[in-house]
Amino acid sequence: MTLRTVPTKPFDDQKPGTSGLRKKVSVFQQPHYLENFVQAIFNALENCKGKTLVLGGDGRFYNRQAIQTILKMAAAAGFGRVLVGHNGILSTPAASCVIRKHSAFGGIILSASHNPAGTDGDFGIKYNTTNGGPAAEKITDAIYARTRYLQRYYILEADDVPLDTLGQTRLGEMRIEIIDSVYDYAEMMESLFNFAAIRQLCSGNTFNMRFDAMHAVTGPYAHEILEKRLGAPVGTVMNGTPLEDFGGGHPDPNLTYAHDLVETMFSAQAPDFGAASDGDGDRNMILGKRFFVTPSDSLAVIAANARLAPGYHRGLAGVARSMPTSMAVDRVAQALNIDCYETPTGWKFFGNLMDAGRVTLCGEESFGTGSSHIREKDGLWAVLFWLNILAVRQQSVEEILLEHWGKYGRNFYTRHDYENVDSSIAKDIMAQLHTHMATLAGKPFGTRRVAYSDDFSYTDPIDGSVSTGQGMRIGFEDGARIVFRLSGTGTEGATLRIYVEAYEADIAKHTQDTQHALADLIGIANQLSGIREKTGRTEPTVIT
C-alpha cells in the first residue's frame, strides 16, 4: 500500500448548505471533485489522528464507490478506526446513534435525503460531529474555506474493502469494522418505547398498518423493528428493499410523492395507521384511516403525550420548532409550563439546545421530528412514538387529533412548494418581499390586519451566534401567519415555499378543509409575492 499525494485544483461550487454538499451525481463523478471535498473536511478537523470515524449512507447510486474513496483517504489522514454500515448502509438517524454510542470523533453521511437518486439523480455528503449532529456553521465555513485553495489531497493506494461481510479488516494502519446497520439503532428504540404494548397492538387482529420505505434506507430498519421485533405481519413494510435509484421514485414522504401509501390509506379498506420515511430515514409522514396528520400537529401530539413512552415518562425539558413550523406545539408547551424555542430551519440549530439540556423534543414542518436521543431528526422514531401512543390510548389517529384540537384549538396549516423555479426569479421575488417588509405593519388585508413583518433572524441562546436572512414573516393581529422562504435542499433551480397558518378555537370548525379554511391567507400570500405572475405557475408543485 502506497500513500499518494495527488495534485488538484479548487472547485468553486463546494459551499455546503444546511445539510452538507448536494449536487448531481455527474458533478461528484468529476475527477477529484469528491476527493477535494473530503480532503477539505479532514483539513478542517483538528487532531483526527487515531480517532474513530463513522461512515455510511442511504444506498443511493454512487454510495458504495464514494465509501471506498473516503476509506482510503481516511487511512491517509491517520484515522485509527472507521465503523462502516453493512453494505454501506446507514440511515442518518442510525449514523447519529452510532457516533454517540461509540464515542466517535465524527461521521461522514452520504445522502441527498429526500432528493431523487440514480445515475441522473442527486448525491450528497455531510460531516457530523462528535455529538452526532450536523456540523455547526463555523465548521462548514471552515470546510468551505479550505475548498477554495486546496492544491492536493492524500489517498492510500489499496484494493477496495468488502462492504457486504460483517467483521474487521485493515487498510494500512487503520482498522475497519463493517457493522450491522440496524442493531445499535433498534436497541435504542427498544429502550425508549413500550415494545410490549406496541407488539400487542401490531400482532393483534383488530389493528393493521402500512409503512412505506419508498425503496430507500429505512427498509432494513422497518423490517427488523416493525415486522420482526414488534410482530407486525410480513408485508406491513411496503417498498422495503433499498434501490440505488429508489425505484425511480421521489423519496419524499408527503401526500404527492408517497403515492402508493396515500392510495392505500385513503382507500375503502384503509388500514388503521400508515407512515412513510424518506431517502435517508430522517423524515416521516403520519396517516390515519383516510386522515392526514400534518408534521406540525404530529410534533404537538407527541409533546402532549410524551409521558406515555417509557423513555420520556419524566416529562420534557422543553420543545423547539423551526420558524416556519406551525405554533401548535407552542400551545402544548404553554400548557405544560415548559419553554418553546423558535429556530431557523436546519437541524443543527436544535443541537446546542439539546446539548445544553434545554429541549427534549424538536421538529420541523418539512416532515422532520426528533428528540435528544440523537442529534438528527428521526423518521422511524416518530412512527414508533405514534404506535406507542396508539397502543396506550387505544384510540384511532383521527380520534386522538380531534381530542387534541378540542383541548388546544387547531392551527390550520399548509405549505405550498414551487419547485425548480428559475433561481433569478425566485431571488427577485424574495428581494421584493424584503423591500415590502418595512411597509406592511398596520396594513389591512380583508378582515385581517398585519401586526408585524420581518426577515427572521436568530440569536442562539447557548453560544450567542447570530443567523440572519432565515425567511420573511408576516404576522396578523389574530395570530395568523404567512412565511416565505427559499429552500436549500434541491440541486436544480430554486424551491420557493409559502407557509400559511391560522388558529381556530371553535370546535365546530375544526374538521373543515384546510385549503378552504386558509383560502383568504393563501390569496394574500399570492398577492404579496406575485408568484404566479412571475413564475407562470398556476398552482404549487406540492401542497402539504
Instruction: Tell me if 2-181 shares its fold with 185-408.
Output: yes
- Given this model, what pLDDT does residue 359 score? 98
Digit-coded pLDDT (tens) for 33-58:
999 999 999 999 988 999 999 999 99
| pLDDT(528) > 60 | yes
Q: What is the mean pLDDT of residues 476-488?
A: 90
Order of strands across the sheet that contains 291-293: 237-238, 209-212, 273-277, 284-288, 291-293
Q: What is the mean pLDDT of residues 71-82?
A: 98
Give the number of C-alpha atoms closer than 13 A to the C-alpha of residue 219, restricted to the C-beta side.
Answer: 19
487 phi and psi angles, rounded to 5 deg:
-90, 145
| pLDDT(4) > 70 | yes
- Given this model, what pLDDT does residue 46 score? 83
| pLDDT(490) > 70 | no
List active site positions.
113
| pLDDT(178) > 60 | yes
Q: What is the mean pLDDT of residues 439-467?
A: 92
CATH, domain range 2-181: 3.40.120.10
Q: What is the mean pLDDT of residues 155-182?
A: 96
Q: What is the mean pLDDT of residues 153-161?
A: 96
Digit-coded pLDDT (tens) for 114-147:
889 999 999 999 999 999 999 988 899 999 999 9
| pLDDT(190) > 60 | yes
Q: pTM for the complete prediction?
A: 0.94
d(C-alpha 226, C-alpha 461), whole Å = 38
d(C-alpha 319, C-alpha 235), whole Å = 35
Question: What is 306-345 written as a DSSP string?
Answer: GGGSGGGTT--SEEEEETTS-THHHHHHHHHT-EEEEE-S
Contact between 259 and 233 under an 8 Å Cβ cutoff? The reply is no
- Given this model, what pLDDT does residue 491 score? 54
Share of the chain above pLDDT 90, in %: 84
**3.90.950.10, 3.40.640.10, 3.30.310.50, 3.40.50.300: which CATH number matches 410-543?**
3.30.310.50
The contacts of residue 216 (CB under 8 Å, 6+ apart) are 58, 59, 242, 246, 251, 277, 278, 279, 280, 281
Contact between 186 and 224 under an 8 Å Cβ cutoff? The reply is yes
| pLDDT(511) > 70 | yes
Contact between 281 and 218 under an 8 Å Cβ cutoff? The reply is yes
- Given this model, what pLDDT does residue 489 score? 54
Digit-coded pLDDT (tens) for 346-379:
888 899 999 999 999 999 998 999 999 999 999 9
Q: What is the mean pLDDT of residues 425-454?
A: 91
- Given this model, what pLDDT does residue 488 score? 58
Interhelix angle for 328-336 vs 397-408, to 10°? 70
pLDDT band of residue 542 (cuts 50, 70, 90) is confident
Digit-coded pLDDT (tens) for 261-285:
999 999 999 999 999 999 999 999 9
- Given this model, what pLDDT does residue 348 score? 84
Within 10 Å of residue 424's Cβ, how many Cβ atoms? 10
Can you list the alpha helix ranges (DSSP code H) found in 237-290?
Answer: 259-265
Q: What is the mean pLDDT of residues 456-479?
A: 92
Question: What is 445-504 written as a DSSP string?
Answer: ETTEEEEEEEE--EE-TTT--EE----EEEEETTS-EEEEEEE---SSSEEEEEEEEEEE
Question: In whole angstroms, how far apart are CA 514 and each of 396, 410, 525?
Answer: 20, 11, 15
- Given this model, what pLDDT does residue 204 score? 79
d(C-alpha 428, C-alpha 32), whole Å = 34
Q: What is the mean pLDDT of residues 381-405?
A: 98
Q: What is the mean pLDDT of residues 488-515?
A: 87
Q: Please state the domain extents for the chain.
A: 2-181, 185-408, 410-543
SS3 (DSSP) at 40 = helix
Would the CA dihedral through 392, 398, 402, 405 be positive or negative?
positive
- Given this model, what pLDDT does residue 492 score? 63
Decide if domain 185-408 falls under CATH 3.40.120.10: yes
- Given this model, what pLDDT does residue 25 score? 97
